[in-house]
Chains A and B, each alone.
Chain A
Amino acid sequence: DAGVIQSPRHEVTEMGQEVTLRCKPISGHDYLFWYRQTMMRGLELLIYFNNNVPIDDSGMPEDRFSAKMPNASFSTLKIQPSEPRDSAVYFCASSRTGGEGETQYFGPGTRLLVL
């Protein structure tokens, strides 16, 4: 398997623009997680899905953030409008219920810079 795939790997945008981050989880995994990593706050869980259904979005910082999972092989995280404080590395991770102690597999991340 190719692992968790994220795109784009790098994104530079201007304040106010819409940003869409994409994730393809590992085939057969039923959980998908979106994280944000910054030096100040470390690794934060934003939202997670089970079988394509959002279960907990309490980590989403505000209404500017939204996430969807239209099918088992694709998810998006959208920021609209973007702000400089959204600059961070965004990770997608997936796992399988009961599999391997439920190890999480992380993608390489999207490095977002909002100017």
Chain B
Amino acid sequence: GDSVTQMEGPVTLSEEAFLTINCTYTATGYPSLFWYVQYPGEGLQLLLKATKADDKGSNKGFEATYRKETTSFHLEKGSVQVSDSAVYFCALKGGSYIPTFGRGTSLIVHP
């Protein structure tokens, strides 16, 4: 079945540092890939997505590229801010109507 593996957290960074959160997936066919973000006390919200190989999703300075050859969708940001502190979820949606979420990676950014 489909699965998503993302790096364990927490990831702790200083403000303006470079961020990478790794995500790899297993799926049949050509799934859509997503990154969701959950701020403290809130529900998950879509951060970015990509629906086909080599697509790059981007939003709020975050980027991720759909790499079919490595089955990866790593999240990056060049310069993090304290306000980026949150939990980040990688997810995929294939042929099933049930999306598959990773376990989530907590990001803590210090001033």
Contacts and interface: CB of A to CB of B under 8 A. Distances in A.
B32 A101 contact: yes
Interface string A88-110: 00010100000011111111110
B93 A106 contact: no
Contacts of B88: none
Interface string B77-111: 00000000000010001000111010110000000
> Which of B43, B89, B98, B104 has most A Cβ within 10 Å?
B43
Interface residues of A, number: 21
Contacts, number: 46
Q: DSSP class of B's interface residues: helix, strand, loop or mixed? A: strand
A108 B103 CA distance: 19
Contacts of A107: 43
User: Top 4 A-B pairs ranked by shortest CB distance?
Assistant: A106-B43, A101-B32, A106-B44, A101-B51
